[in-house]
Amino acid sequence: MIRTEVISVPHGQDELFASVDALLEEVAAQEALPDPEERKRLREASGLSQEQVARALSVRRETITGWESGRTDPRPPKRAAYIRLLEGLAARHPAPAGPAVPEAIMEPVTTPEPAVPASPPVPVPAPAKALPVAETDRPPARRPAAKRAPKREPATVLAGAVDPRFENGPLAVLDGDGNAYTGGLVLDCPARTVASLVDWTLADAGLGAPRLHRSGKDADPLIVLTAAAVERLGLPGRLEDRRGLRLPDDHKVLKQLAKAKWQLTRRGFGPWARVYRPAQGGRRQCVQFAIVPWGALDTRAWGSADQLPPADLAHVLGTYAARVITPRGSTAVSGLELMTALRPPTRAVKDEATGTWVSGPMPGSLTATADPAPPEAPDEHPTVAALYPRAHRRTPDQVLDEEAYEWIRDVDLLTGEECAKVYAVGIDVNMAFAAAANRLIVGTGPAVHVKAPVFDKKLPGSWLVDLSHVVVDPRLPNPFTPHGARPSGPAWYATPTVAYALELGDDVRPIEAYVRTENGAYLDPWYTRLRDAYLATMDELGVRTGMSEPDFLAAMKTHKQTDPGRSLVLSAIKATVKGGIGKLRERPQGVSHRYGERWPALERPTWRPDIRAAVISSARINMHRKMLRLAGAGLFPLAVLSDCAVYPSDGPSPLDFLPRTEDGKPLPGGFRLGVSPGMVKHEGTQDLTWAVRMLEEGHNPARHIKGTDASVDGE
């Protein structure tokens, strides 16, 4: 028996078109959209406004803004129409490929680049086991023989396709037997000299990482040399120049590099070295080196990573490179490099006169060096040297002093009720400086001096204003000074501090200001990537978002013992945040600097002490706002150190003193326990008598609440 199936087929042309359109919408729902910046570029290249596109697609202008910023993506049926529009615009305005621009400004590539999302995918967590060496299905390098690492627990697998140009990952750790550990494969490296090692890395190793921004640069391969590898390559086991931290210019290794036409940067061959040749045909020729026995991995940031076997070290550094950035120096340097990688200073633009592609400034980035306003400059800066004699000590109305808290309460202000409590409990804000950078508007252009301005909380800058009359409970630190004492008169403040005075009800009347009309949320991509890296690593350590408060506190007690390797990655991520912010106001390095002379860091567009001040100001104000909320519930801190506050408590846990609402939820606007940046964790507990004795002696209990010195522990 033959079975027939009757299929209903539309016969009219309109019905056919409707059916086809429905199929197209279904396919479009699965298609990848261009990255957000390309969406914006296509619209602007066509001379269309967001309002015009919104009217055509029957959506609000704010919706188009969300699509072009990457916050949201269109859904069917709008998605199909939006893709059709972008395809039509792309046919008329193709993206510039291989722009002919000066190499010193922007280095184009000769091979197609894979699209990189604005927020790179977070690695998929693996079971929290002992530190593994990754097993991978990636093919071996092109020429050198490759072998699998010894089988261990599965390692973290990164989401997304592997760039075929960098099939073996961002870096390799070299041992003394010619084994190059990449975190998955072990490559055979025949090089016996540094010069041949550079050649092998560029020609055969398949190392590197794709750019984090379409207008940025791919990350150069990193070779990490262990002590055994240093000996194999003819390098000294220890640098004799402890001040300059570099090989002497007449060392045989440097002669070999020079003979092979390789060059070094001005910092020479030290713990972090860069060996390169000028780019040819738009292709970079550069290898980064990290020499472990020379102190490349600072223990304050990397803990005991320098003691790890090569395979484990490759996994730790590779995880950091995948989640943050391939290291190019200390974590502070990496934090600064990440800012530039996510917001490059230049992009390719079309010269309408000649029709050629040239390098132009990237909107929203730091594109050029800008001298600070006089109150923002550190004492050594030429601007300050021109205004004051060297022995002059600047007063608050002459210098911007936005620093983190260092405050203790007067013992005489302790109440009998507080003294009756048993414990002193410290709570610490997670990633406080990163959280402060989130959505923070900072200046991207030069400062403009204004007399008697009207304060605008949306305008970043430095303001001279008298906030000494603002009344603050003496049991709280004053929000306008790092030491927590009341200001004595007019002083310079960053915008977040003055905005908080306005929030407290003060009639703010600045005397003068240096404001930056060119501004934006420059640090947002930086915050997002570091937040994702931090949360992914914490998740692998068993501390996850959405946990109950008791479960969170329990997980935090053991998370560093869960996996020592991932704990090292976590330490480096935290150090990247603090170091990156601090690097925005890098002071002169070395004894050769003379007072009033410029130093190399001043030539960076990212040397921006005003941005550092704004972030620290925002972090301190965020802290005070939450302490003020708890003060409304009758709770006052004993001491504050940066992002740690110590409170008297009846019990040893933060749950014993943090206030709750009538329905048992955390007090809105106060400190909340949790893993996310801006939330708090338990820092430590001591007897209250111990804390009171510290106060009487003039010491800060917050510094020692863990039983150690917070500064020594890198807190």
End position of a domain, from candidates 68, 92, 116: 92
Verify that 87 and 153 share a domain, yes or no: no
Instruction: Put the strands of the sheet holding 171-174 in their side by side order.
Output: 146-148, 185-188, 179-181, 171-174, 222-225, 283-291, 272-280, 263-264
For position 96, what pLDDT does the model report?
Answer: 62
What is residue 18's predicted lDDT score, i.e. its pLDDT? Answer: 54
Which pair of tokens denotes residue 147?
């072998």
Rounded to an integer, what distance in angstroms lies between the CA atom of residue 601 and that of residue 701?
36
Q: Give the residue with greater pLDDT, 479 vs 141.
A: 479
pLDDT for residue 115: 38
Cβ partners under 8 Å of residue 144, min gap 6: 180, 187, 188, 189, 190, 200, 204, 205
The answer to the question of residue 136 being in a domain is no
- 77 assigned to some structural domain: yes
pLDDT 10s digits, 320-337: 999 999 999 999 999 999
Give pLDDT tens digits for 454-474: 999 999 999 999 999 999 999
Instruction: Look over the chain and give the mean of its residue pLDDT values, rounded to a whole number.
Output: 87
Least confident of 357-361, 409-413, 525-529: 357-361
Residue 76 lies inside a defined structural domain of this protein:
yes
Q: Is 229 helix (H, G, I), strand (E, B) or coil?
A: helix
pLDDT at 17 over 70: no
Mean pLDDT, to the nearest integer, of 570-589? Answer: 97
> Tell me, what's the pLDDT at 15?
55
More confident residue, 111 or 506: 506
Token pair of 131, please? 């530190």
Average pLDDT over residues 82-92: 83
C-alpha R_g of the chain: 28
Share of the chain above pLDDT 90, in %: 70
Is 487's pLDDT higher than 60?
Answer: yes
Three state DSSP letters for 189-212? CCCCCHHHHHHHHHHCCCCCECCC
The pLDDT of residue 16 is 55
How far apart are the C-alpha atoms of 501 and 489, rounded to whole Å? 14
For 420-442, give one letter per residue: b (16+ CB within 10 A) or e: ebebbbbbbbbbbbbbbbbebbb
Same-domain status, 162 and 304:
yes
Lowest model confidence (mean pLDDT) among 108-112, 161-165, 301-305: 108-112
**Cα–Cα dist 562/336, whole Å:** 30
Query: Highest mean pLDDT: which of 15-24, 49-58, 63-72, 217-226?
Result: 217-226
Of residues 77 and 536, the one with the higher pLDDT is 536
Q: Tell me, what's the pLDDT at 352?
A: 85
**Domain co-membership, 163 together with 241:** yes
User: How far is the C-alpha of 163 from the C-alpha of 535, rounded, in Å?
Assistant: 25
Domain stop point among 92, 115, 130: 92
* Structural domain includes residue 306: yes
Pair 36, 169 in one domain = no
Among residues 272, 303, 329, the one where a domain terminates is 329
| pLDDT tens digit sequence for 191-230 | 999 999 999 999 999 999 999 999 999 999 999 999 999 9
In this structure, are 211 and 289 located in the same domain? yes
Residue 698 lies in a domain: no
198 and 55 in a common domain: no
Question: What value does the mean pLDDT take over residues 432-451?
Answer: 97
Counted domains in the chain: 2
Over the stretch 612-651, which tens digit does the pLDDT of each residue have? 999 999 999 999 999 999 999 999 999 999 999 999 999 9
| Residue 27, pLDDT score | 52
Band of residue 78 on the pLDDT scale cut at 50, 70, 90: confident
Q: What is the mean pLDDT of residues 173-194?
A: 95
672, part of any domain: no
pLDDT attached to residue 146 = 55
Structure tokens at 452: 């008697």
Which of the pair, 128 or 608, is modelled with greater confidence? Answer: 608
Same domain, 206 and 282: yes
pLDDT digits (tens, 9 = 90+) for 133-159: 333 333 334 444 455 444 333 333 333
Based on the fold, state whether residues 155 and 66 are members of the same structural domain.
Answer: no
CATH number for the domain harbouring residue 25: 1.10.260
* pLDDT score of 113 more than 70: no
Asked if residue 190 and residue 68 are part of one domain, the reply reads: no
Q: What is the distance between the alpha carbons of residues 568 and 315, in angstroms, rounded to a whole number?
A: 11
- Say if residue 59 is in the same domain as residue 201: no
Confidence grade of residue 672 (pLDDT, cut at 50, 70, 90): very high
**Residue 54 belongs to a domain:** yes
**Residue 147 pLDDT:** 54
Q: Are residues 80 and 150 in the same domain?
A: no
Burial 517-539 (b: 16+ CB within 10 A, else e): eebbebbbbbbbbbbbbbbbbbb
- What pLDDT is recorded for position 22? 55
| pLDDT: which is higher, 264 or 30 | 264
- The pLDDT of residue 591 is 73
Same domain, yes or no, for 187 and 325? yes
**Least confident stretch, 6-10, 208-212, 370-374:** 6-10
Q: Which residue range is the domain that position 56 belongs to?
A: 13-92
Distance of CA 303 to the CA centre of its chain: 19
pLDDT digit string, tens, across residues 545-570: 999 999 999 999 999 998 999 999 99
Give domain status of residue 432, yes or no.
no
Q: Is the pLDDT of residue 496 over 80?
A: yes
